[in-house]
Structure 1
Amino acid sequence: MITSKYVAVISQYMRFPSVKEDPTQWIPVLRKICWYLVLSPHDPMQSSLLNSTLEDKNLSEISHFRFLLKQLVTMEVIQWTALWNTFQNEFENEKNMLGGPLGDKAAEDLRQRVIEHNILVVSKYYSRITLKRLAELLCLSVQEAEKHLSDMVVSKALVAKIDRPVGIVCFQTAKDSNDILNSWAVNLEKLLDLVEKSCHQIHKETMVHKAALKV
């Protein structure tokens, strides 16, 4: 199953009519929803489903999964090794998934989601950071850190520029269309004001020059 279908599978699980009525069924289903949430790429739909699931009172019955989801909404770096050691057995033993059992591809996707989360966290706390330091925070090589960062920039998950010669990453705040239009309007207003002042100055100097010629 490809990563882009994880959220679609979550929607299928949420449509099971008998689940909420049968206590023996909702815990296994809720576990599967949690797994697919952490495997899904970060976007508005995933974020909405993640927060609504965290508000589900039934999640308190599987507190370790609540802890797992909570890490994804907390602006702190997740230690991949510690996370994997905690959940590896449950991850590998999860069966009867709609998209098939969680295998090697899903494990790679989980690690990818953790790396993406950590890069987003770093971007919140740093405006500039060296690639070397970024790699250290992500527990990756410099080459791996640059690749994951570049992939996120290409997918527009964040805005950043990499200065390779000096090894510096500059994170920027993404602007929506309204911010861009407002910025253009302000710049245009400044330009028109400058043109008006220049015209006034030219007119003034022309009048002075004409007056000097009459003397």
Structure 2
Amino acid sequence: MSDGNIFKPDKDYTKDADKILPEAEELAKKDLQKGIDKIIALEKQSRQASDLATTSRCLVAIITLCKQAGDWSLLNEQVLLLSKKNSQPKQAITTMVQEVMKFLDDTPNLDTKLSVIETLRTVTEGRIFVEVERARITRILSDIKKEQGDIRTACDILCELQVETFGSMTRREKTEFILQQVELCIENSEWTQAMILSRKMSTRYFARKPKKTPEQLEKEKKEREEKEKKRSADEPPPEPEDDVTDLKLRYYEQQIQLAKHEDRYLDACKHYRQVLDTESVENNPAQLRATLQRVIYFVLLAPYDNEQSDLLHRVYQDSRNSEVPQDAALLKQFTIPELMRWPMVEQQYGEHLCSTDIFSKTQDPSDPKAQTRYEALRHRVIEHNVRVVAKYYTRITLTRLTELLDLSEEETEKYISDLVTKKTVYARIDRPARVVSFEVKRGPDEVLDEWGSSMSSLLGLLERVGHLMQREEMMARISPANAAKTRAD
């Protein structure tokens, strides 16, 4: 096989090919092997003379004769033999492989199709110049295994491809390959591998792009045409900017599945916000309402911290929340420092929440984690109430606290202990006295620093008062009445 460089042919066999190929086709109708042998003789001469065009025509003609005769085993044999010949141009092999790929839909049965696919995978293995063709063939094989119900094999076959390293494949096709790999991993319950594969895609590719004026579009079109003229044969064609909304929605749907599986509620909320920032979703009222609901639900389910609190208030300020008034009302209660009694919340919002696919009061076979999320919402309401109590009380009896939280003493201690461990609140429980203290005890250094700060502030005030008194005395001395009195004396 040649090194891929295109040389000027020593001799042009185009006229010979125009004469011999039709004769070989007629001969093949009577004897296929003799027709192929006639073309092989021409293929050898053109290959040795570096006539790429004629060599490619010969290879395509040979496999076409085998296909027309219905001899698929001979086609496989010829593909293997032709690809292994000395000084065979890379471009000719690529043309032959691409032509055989067109024959896959014409195979008489699945076994024949699989044999042709395996032949192509053998020919393309380890050859960079046909890496894109190998990826496409492998994808077809994976789809066949998936249709047969063998998800594991389909996943293993497709995931062996490292398409992100393919320089000659368009970015859109790379993204489609990786998305399909992630999808198969999720179906095969290989969550860790799905997460690793999904990180190969850059979210900047899915970012919403501003609309361009006709002048800008025309300018970019001319630039692409100029690049196409200067492009060499080995370089991939320039990619036009296309709409990637379908890929974006597929990507974030998979990310939401992964986040739900691992109970990463804050990440799920962020992914839904990216879905919300899509023109097709914004223009579809039903999708817009459903996405807004899920943004609110998952930000409420996320454990409290600075990031969650910031995102909660940003979601609350979204003017589109008027599309989902009941969910917006629930969200508002988490933004104000007031107690939320869980029985009242459940009575007011429980039926509405369970009407969605996110929450369920009972075990749901279609989504086993729906009940877990409903319990998690109850925990978030109770934790919110504990933070509110800690804000307004320095000391409170355990009996009164259990009344405010609608919990038993054991559950109250558990929730306070969890929040103290997470450093969300400061609390100390005096069990013998049955008192909970939320007052932060300060050390001697802190008390001394506060006293020193207070003394500095006090001395500053005294100095300012003294200065003001002196100024008033000076103003009084130079007033007109005092000046007249001084002259009279």
2:340 is paired with a residue whose SS is coil
What is the total number of aligned residue pairs between the two structures?
183
Map 1:40-79; keep pairs closer than 5 Å: 40-79=302-341
Name which of structure 1's ranges 102-111 and 29-38 shifts more when overlaid on structure 2: 102-111
2:436 is paired with a residue whose SS is strand
User: 1:150 is matched by which residue type in structure 2?
Assistant: S
Tell me, yes or no, if structure 1 residue 137 matches structure 2 residue 137.
no
Verify the 8 A CA contact 1:92 1:102 in the aligned structure 2. Answer: no
User: 1:162 is matched by which residue type in structure 2?
Assistant: I
Verify the 8 A CA contact 2:269 2:295 in the aligned structure 1. Answer: yes
Match of 1:29 in 2: 291
What are the superposed Cα offsets for residues 101-143 of structure 1, whole Å, 9 maximum, x if unpaired? 8621111101100100001111111100011111111011111
- Measured in 1, the distance between the counterparts of 2:322 and 2:441 equals 35
What's the TM-score once normalised by structure 2's chain length?
A: 0.35
Share of identical aligned residues, percent?
35
User: 1:64 is matched by which residue type in structure 2?
Assistant: Q
- Measured in 2, the distance between the counterparts of 1:40 and 1:143 equals 24
Verify the 8 A CA contact 2:398 2:434 in the aligned structure 1. Answer: yes
Verify the 8 A CA contact 1:152 1:158 in the aligned structure 2. Answer: yes
What's the TM-score once normalised by structure 1's chain length?
A: 0.75
- Measured in 2, the distance between the counterparts of 1:163 and 1:89 equals 39
- Whose RCO is larger (CA < 8 A, sep 6+)? 1
Verify the 8 A CA contact 2:266 2:298 in the aligned structure 1. Answer: yes
Name which of structure 1's ranges 40-49 and 114-123 shifts more when overlaid on structure 2: 40-49
Tell me the CA shift for residue 89 of structure 1: 2.0
Match of 2:384 in 1: 117
1:75 is paired with a residue whose SS is coil
Verify the 8 A CA contact 1:95 1:102 in the aligned structure 2. Answer: no
Q: State which of 237, 262, 273 in structure 2 corresponds to 1:14.
A: 273
Verify the 8 A CA contact 2:358 2:373 in the aligned structure 1. Answer: no
Match of 2:237 in 1: none
Match of 2:395 in 1: 128
2:396 is paired with a residue whose SS is strand
Larger radius of gyration: 2
Verify the 8 A CA contact 1:3 1:39 in the aligned structure 2. Answer: no
User: 1:76 is matched by which residue type in structure 2?
Assistant: E
Tell me the CA shift for residue 93 of structure 1: 2.2
1:162 is paired with a residue whose SS is strand
Verify the 8 A CA contact 1:94 1:102 in the aligned structure 2. Answer: no
2:437 is paired with a residue whose SS is strand
Q: Which has the higher strand share?
A: 1
Structure 1 unaligned spans of 5+? 190-215
User: 2:449 is matched by which residue type in structure 1?
Assistant: V
User: 2:428 is matched by which residue type in structure 1?
Assistant: K
1:136 is paired with a residue whose SS is helix
- Structure 1 residues 93, 132: CA separation in 2 closer, same or farther (over 3 Å shift)? same
Map 1:150-169; keep pairs closer than 5 Å: 150-169=417-436
Match of 1:213 in 2: none
